[in-house]
Amino acid sequence: MNTIKKIVALGDSITKGVIYDGERYQTLSNGFVSQCAEDLNVNIDNYGRMGCTISRGAQIAEQHADTIAGSDVTLVEFGGNDSDFCWTDIASAPKDNHYPMTELPTFRQMYRELIARIRELGSKPILMTLPLIDYKRFYAFVTRNMGDQDQQNVLSWLGGQEERIRNYHDMYSLAVYQIGYQERVPVLDITSPFLHNRDYLPYLCCDGIHPSQQGHDLIAASVENQLRRIVPQL
């Protein structure tokens, strides 16, 4: 049986291991990717980038095409930034139509193209869903520098319900499942581990969207277990 020697990780700040401490962003030395590399005893080249969308991810994949071609597996984690909005635009014009950073049909198409490219390079793509968000803390975070009227405008655009923020996030996570099914690509579920905890808030940073160190520990354990089932060589 062949042994898995190299994995590439493509993704956003979650893959990179970024957390928010209430004042600034910083990168963990022991994010979930680093933990997986150590526990699985495999080399993982981490190309996660802060703010990365699927389009930027495709560019990064091309920049590191040779590395992907030399890898056995490529982990892919996108959707959190794609599903986000320009909240200041919404605050300025709450009656206008506003769209996510990457509209869902484009997200689906570009994700499929990235999967095809990874396969073309000879690596096995494995997708990841999105962790949960805490919509209350996330709403407070994105409106924290706004005046009362702008905050009210954002809430008005959300139909008076802060929790609608979560709808967009969930749609993109579900889209990853659908893409994986359609393209016959394994999908690692990193959503359910948060739901298994009655109180999952400690697993998220105060911005409501970035996993905390505890969250990364949770993701690492889940990813390792699922990878061992999907890739027996690990």
Helix 135-142 to helix 148-157 angle, to the nearest 10 degrees?
A: 130
Give the pLDDT confidence score for residue 197 in this predicted structure: 86
Give which of 215, 167, 166 is closest to 193, Cα–Cα: 215
Q: What is the mean pLDDT of the chain?
A: 96
| Contact (CB, 8 A) for 175 and 105 | no
Q: Are 216 and 28 in contact (CB under 8 A)?
A: yes
CATH class of 6-88+101-132+165-230: alpha beta
pLDDT given at position 4 = 85
pLDDT at residue 198, as a whole number: 83
Domain ranges within the chain, ordered by starting residue:
6-88+101-132+165-230
Q: Give backbone dihedrals phi and psi of 126, rounded to 5 degrees, phi first.
A: -135, 125
Over 60: is that where the pLDDT of 61 sits? yes
Tell me the mean pLDDT in the region 141-168.
96
pLDDT at 78 over 80: yes
Report the sign of the C-alpha dihedral through residues 192, 198, 204, 207, in that order.
positive
For residue 2, pLDDT over 70 is answered with no
Q: Which tokens belong to 203?
A: 């697993």
Q: Which of 64, 42, 68, 93 is nearest to 223 (CA)?
A: 42
Q: What is the pTM of this model?
A: 0.95
Strands (E), 47-161: 73-77, 124-128
- Separation between Cα atoms, residue 96 and residue 41, nearest integer Å: 51
